[in-house]
Amino acid sequence: MAFLQKYPFHLFLLGILLHLLAVLLPSAFVTHDGPSHLYNAHIINQILFTEGSIYEQFHILNLNFLQPNLLGYVPLCLFQLFLPFLWAEKITVALYVLLFAFGFRYLLKQHSPNADWYALLIFPFVLNVVLFWGFFNFLIALGLSFYLLAYYERGRASNTGVSWLLLCLLSLIIFYSHALVFVFCGVYVLIREAHTLFVNRSPKRAAFFVAIRETSFLIPGAVLFLAYLIRQAGTDSAGNAAFDLGKRLSGLILNPEVLSFSGYSEGAYVVPLFLLLVVLGGIKLWQDHKNKTSLWSVSFLLMLFFFLATLFTPEEAGGGSVIVPRLNLVFFLFFLVWISRQELNRTVKWLIGIYLVFSLALLSVRFQFIQAGAQQCHHVIESSALFLEKNSLIGSIHNKPVSRFVGDYQIHTYFDIMTNIDLYAALDQGCLSLHNYEANMPREISYFPVSWRHAERIEVVRDPSHTPLILEYTHPDTLAKYKISPPEVLLCVGQSVDPSGGKAMWDPQGAYKQVFGDSIAFLRVYSRMGDIGK
């Protein structure tokens, strides 16, 4: 504890180093959407820098100034130019870790005189559920938003033309990384300015014009966001998923969704961490009551807003899915900002020290989880390598959820982290895969940078008849419609309930035969008759 009291920033640096090692030491960092982002970044490089590649034959770049989902592709493209693809992905995640952790600490410094201490609370939220969903664009935007909001707080009094331009530029970069985070920034700024107007009882007329000036840097991004919403109108699903308030409350209180995603092994650490946060929040309320401090601070209003947003936002809002865990994460981040404004006494320091111990214990569980995903990644790459030809077309069949257990560690996951793992095999052997959900979005409304060249989309069948699994495969008639030759090899990922019955659906002509199957029924390889092996 003496070391903690004297060197909190050094412990922060040590914690960041350990998180970086957890990302970089395993041979791969597997996430749900990560392989797809990595694969499409490879396609972008091939189209830009390799003439006549198979990727250029099948894909085009979807250039659109209203694509608020792009920034994460920049490091993935850049690093793949001179690094192996798995390292490109790991370094991208490592950059996110640095951006997220140091950005949050920088924002805390604008709210709390004890930011070095309270920054230690961020560690459990670094390797969070949103990261393992593979939402790189969102998290990079979130890391950048910390710098935007901190710079906004620092410059509110001076607000020079240079600072306005910098804020405007950073807000546009955030918009193009992820529109939802741009909205979060807008919420922060509006609540901040409204608090100045109404809670602080500033002179209304003068303060109103000051508030307009302070928020004006968001106008260019807001215009782009409005144009994006108009373009997407009528195409996004909103609120189709069943709403369960009890489940939402559980995801915030009893079983924090942003921390609890890899199952039973992490509960011994997540529960104490959550209880420590509750105690710190209770101390903050007691101190505010004792000091007669108003409850309605900016950080409290932000925390309350995202608490309500987490409870009541439709799961499919905003043109995508899995929005609630993102709101869940942002709620906890502003909860940390709120409690960082309390007095730093000896009791609080001890609680933060205990919290740090449990944070590092949770990191060890995350490290095992990452190692398990890396094992499965290499299993798929090495097992399929014998049957894949460079510049060939391959297809995939998925029995979803692909695998609720990954690797020898048998760590349970609440979402299907292995669903895009076949794309690592395509990257390793330089194959073009028909399994590309990003390219499959209709071009006129797509927020991804790659589309199919000739086909509007490749029809994907999702058959739920093999319960509890969903069989997902490319419809055989789609390829003939666009005069695309059938793929030479199919990778079948996930354990099937009825292998023969499933094959009759995705291979009605009996054109493929199995040439490989692993011992855990996770991966099977099928080849067209006469196209077996290299």
Give SS3 for 492: strand
Print burial letters for 419-430: b (CB count within 10 Å at least 16), e (below 16): bbbbbbbbbbbb
Res 409: pLDDT: 52
pTM as predicted: 0.92
Q: Are 339 and 280 within 8 A, CB to CB?
A: yes
Question: What pLDDT is attached to residue 237?
Answer: 47
Cα angle vertex 480, ends 478, 485, to 5°? 110
Domain boundaries, given as residue ranges, for the chain:
2-368, 376-528
Q: Are strands 489-493 and 523-528 parallel, antiparallel or unpaired?
A: antiparallel
**Residue 444 token pair:** 């006129």
Structure tokens at 234: 């009528």
Residue 206 CA to residue 31 CA, distance in Å, equals 50
Please name the helix (run of DSSP H) or strand (run of DSSP E) that holds residue 300, with its range, or none. Answer: helix 298-312
| CA-closest candidate to residue 117, choices 23, 4, 29 | 4
Angstrom distances, CA of residue 205 to CA of 150, 212, 263: 26, 11, 54
Q: Average pLDDT of each block of 10 consecutive residues along the chain (534 residues)?
A: 70 96 96 95 94 88 84 95 96 98 96 93 95 94 96 77 89 94 95 81 68 88 89 58 67 72 74 93 92 87 91 67 86 95 92 95 91 91 92 89 62 76 94 91 84 80 74 79 84 78 83 89 86 46
- Tokens 């199952």, residue? 263
Q: Do 115 and 72 meet the contact criterion of CB atoms below 8 Å apart?
A: no
Evaluate whether 156 touches 214 at the Cβ level (below 8 Å): yes
Single out the residue of 67, 49, 41, 52 nearest to residue 436, CA to CA.
Answer: 41
Whole-Å CA distances, 420 to 33, 202, 317, 397, 502:
7, 54, 23, 11, 19
pLDDT at 440: 87
Beta-carbon contacts of 389 under 8 Å, excluding residues fewer than 6 positions away, are 429, 431, 488, 489, 534
> What is the reported pLDDT for 502?
78
Tally of CB atoms within 10 A around 70: 17
Contacts of 272 (CB under 8 A, 6+ apart): 354, 358
Nearest CA to 525 out of 499, 501, 479, 492 is that of 492
Query: Distances in Å between the alpha carbon of 323 and those of 87, 123, 218, 387, 388?
Result: 28, 22, 23, 38, 36
Pairing outcome for strands 432-433 and 489-493: unpaired
Question: What 3-state DSSP class applies to 274?
Answer: helix
Q: What is the pLDDT of residue 137?
A: 95
Percent of residues in the chain assigned helix, strand, coil, to nearest 5: 60, 10, 30
